[in-house]
């Protein structure tokens, strides 16, 4: 499995569970595997696995504990990938902790927005059909097709060119590699904050943090802990100027200011900044774990 702190280690655990459970159920066909040279492709396979399981397993908690990379990352690193909630004498706190896990910086949304700017409306929603198309585009390798949409004649060809071009951006590849490392994860104070922050902020980190403070629309989830204390525990001080956690002191904001996403260059600049944030948090978690 390699380094358990890597994104690939988490994806490998998810894929292994998917393959074993599919085989035991007599299913054949789709068998995702890690491609070490294509982190974006690996994430698309992961998204497709989860979409597949949403159709098969309607038990949301069980599905998340097995197939959600957020939960599986903590399960792998803190519990040795054991199904700790099944162990005798364990309270529900371990299970709750896993179910409160969430990704700090979304990958899909900025990927989709960048592709749409390369070719209008090239990627719309994260459906199984859409993911299958992207996987088919990326699997031959990043250099097997030209990236200039003008060289294609059909809509699908131009869409494929946009997807392939965005998948080669260095900051996109880097975020894919960092996606399920500890520096891109946090334990939310309440589970329902997950969906609410996406609705309000499209998982954009600066805007999310701003909404957590008193007066913000996510502050209602902080009944058992203050936003400042939670952010301190999640090593988020690097998001603030001088490391001082205060609503008016945010140093990392969303691209396009009040717009969720601006132009392509703004999105790419945002991704470069959040990749640096993830690296800093990874370092902080290692330092304070000693």
Give, in degrees to the nearest 5, the angle at Cα 12 between 52 and 197: 60
Domain boundaries, the chain: 7-99, 108-177, 204-289
Report how far apart, in Å, the C-alpha atoms of 284 and of each of 16, 40, 235 are.
30, 26, 7
Write the pLDDT tens digit of every residue in 200-219. 988 888 889 999 999 999 99
The number of residues in the chain equals: 290
CA atoms 93, 94, 97, 98: torsion sign: negative
d(CA 225, CA 221): 9
Token pair recorded at residue 88: 């005798």
pLDDT for the residue numbered 275: 95
Percent of the chain scoring above 90 in pLDDT:
58
CA atoms 191, 193, 199, 201: torsion sign: negative
**Per-residue pLDDT averaged across 215-242, rounded?**
96
pLDDT for the residue numbered 57: 87
Torsion region of 68: left, alpha or beta (phi above 0 gives left; psi -120 to 50 gives alpha): beta
Confidence (pTM): 0.90
pLDDT for the residue numbered 27: 53
41-55, 132-146, 183-197: which has the minimum mean pLDDT?
132-146
pLDDT for the residue numbered 125: 78
pLDDT for the residue numbered 119: 83
pLDDT bin (cut points 50, 70, 90) of residue 151 is low
Question: Per-residue pLDDT for 226 more than 90?
Answer: yes
Question: Per-residue pLDDT for 193 more than 60?
Answer: yes
pLDDT bin (cut points 50, 70, 90) of residue 123 is confident
229 or 59, which is more confident: 229
**Per-residue pLDDT averaged across 120-144, rounded?**
79
Write the pLDDT tens digit of every residue in 47-89. 999 999 988 888 899 999 999 999 999 999 999 999 888 887 7
Q: Which strand (E) or helix (H) includes residue 187? A: strand 185-187
Phi, psi angle pair for 195, to nearest 5°: -70, -35
Q: What Rg do the C-alpha atoms of the chain give, in angstroms?
A: 19
Mean of pLDDT over the chain: 87
Question: Per-residue pLDDT for 262 more than 80?
Answer: no
Question: Per-residue pLDDT for 260 more than 80?
Answer: no
Question: Per-residue pLDDT for 41 more than 70?
Answer: yes
């Amino acid at each position: 499995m390699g380094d358990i702190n890597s994104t690939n280690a988490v994806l490998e655990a998810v894929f292994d569970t998917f393959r074993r459970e599919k085989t035991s159920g007599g299913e054949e066909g789709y068998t995702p595997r890690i491609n070490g040279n294509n982190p974006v492709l690996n994430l698309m396979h992961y998204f497709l696995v989860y979409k597949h399981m949403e159709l098969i397993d309607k038990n949301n908690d069980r599905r998340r504990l097995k197939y959600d990379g957020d939960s599986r990352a903590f399960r792998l690193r803190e519990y040795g990938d054991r199904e700790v909630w099944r162990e005798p004498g364990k309270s529900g706190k371990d299970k709750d902790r896993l179910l409160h896990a969430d990704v700090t910086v979304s990958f899909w949304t900025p990927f989709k927005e960048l592709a749409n700017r390369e070719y209008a409306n090239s990627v719309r929603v994260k459906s199984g059909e859409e993911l299958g198309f992207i996987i088919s585009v990326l699997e031959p390798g990043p250099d097997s097709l030209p990236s200039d949409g003008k060289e294609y004649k059909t809509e699908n060809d131009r869409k494929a060119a946009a997807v392939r071009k965005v998948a080669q951006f260095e900051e996109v590849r880097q975020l894919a590699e960092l996606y399920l490392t500890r520096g891109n994860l946090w334990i939310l104070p309440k589970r329902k904050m997950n969906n609410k922050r996406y609705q309000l902020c499209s998982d954009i980190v600066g805007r999310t943090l701003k909404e957590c403070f008193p007066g913000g629309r996510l502050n209602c989830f902080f009944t058992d802990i203050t936003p400042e204390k939670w952010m301190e525990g999640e090593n988020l001080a690097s998001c603030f100027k001088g490391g001082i956690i205060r609503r008016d002191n945010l140093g990392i904001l969303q691209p396009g200011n009040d717009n969720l996403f601006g132009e392509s260059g703004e999105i790419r600049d945002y991704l470069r900044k959040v990749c640096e944030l993830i690296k800093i948090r990874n370092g902080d978690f290692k330092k304070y774990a000693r």
